[in-house]
Each structure stands twice: as structure tokens, then as C-alpha cells.
Amino acid sequence: MQQTSQHKNLSTYKIGYYISLFGAAIILLWIGAFKFTPTEAAAIKPLVENHFLTFFVYDIMSAQAVSNIIGVIEIIIALLLIFSVKFASLKKFAGIGMVVTFLVTLSYLFTTPNVWHVVDGVPVTDFFILKDLMLLGFGLMLLNGKNEHT
């Protein structure tokens, strides 16, 4: 009876893992592709130009070129995620890419002027960045070297 319960928990874990993996891949592919548009290039400029790690990039490249590079990085991470299903060695690279990417994007909440404002007495931000909390968490899970559940 306990073995059946363990099997059920393992199956639930696997389902959750693959939903997270493919969900993260879809989000990264979609947002990565959107980076190739002038709308997204303009939207990310205030975030990138006010960050202590990336402020200089607009001195070197155009807003669209910067956005394109970020898009390529996001798409590569998405492909690493997808291919890690077949090639487990890619999982760690996908995890590293996710952790670095989402630590930087979450730090925009603290480096971008006017990103926080108060609405009805509640501090709010541009909520699109908050999804990165979950993606950061999944990236950290991928860095766990154990493959016992996947």
C-alpha cells in the first residue's frame, strides 16, 4: 500500500516537473521571440539602462540589438530546457541560464526608477517581472544534481 502511495507521489511530482519545464520553455520562447519587436525593445530599455550590470550596453549597441541579444539568450535557455528531457546533461546549463537571467530581471525591481508605485495604499509594481520568482525557483531546482524524480 505504501509503495502505491509513493508511486502516486512520484507520478504527481513528474507531472508537476514537466508542466514546470515546458511552461518555463513556452514562456521563454514567447518572451524571447517578442524581444525581436520594436515594442519590447523600447519596453525593456528603462530596465536595462538603469541597471548597474547593463547600463553601458546602449553605448555600444542599439536598443533593438540589445533586445535581440536578450531574446536569443532566452530562446537558447528554452531550447536547453526542452532538450534536457532527452539529454539530462543539459539540465544544469538550463538551470544556470535561468538563475542568472531571473536574478538579473528580478533585480530590475530595485534598480529601475519609478517601477514601484502605490495604488489604493498598496505598493505595486509592473507585475510581469514577478513571474520571474517562480522561474528562478524552477531554475534552482534544475541545479539539483539528483535525477531521482525525473
C-alpha to C-alpha distances, 120 to 21, 115, 117, 123, nearest whole angstrom: 36, 16, 10, 8
C-alpha to C-alpha distances, 145 to 21, 76, 90, 138, 141, nearest whole angstrom: 16, 21, 11, 13, 9
Report yes or no: 129 and 108 within 8 Å, Cβ to Cβ.
yes
The pLDDT profile of the chain, 150 residues, written as one tens digit per residue, is 455 666 666 789 899 999 999 999 999 999 999 999 999 999 999 999 999 999 999 999 999 999 999 999 999 999 999 999 999 999 999 999 999 999 999 999 999 998 888 999 998 887 778 889 999 999 999 998 665 555
At 103 the pLDDT is: 97
Ordered by start, the domain boundaries in the chain are 2-142
pTM of this structure:
0.87
At 88 the pLDDT is: 94
At 127 the pLDDT is: 72
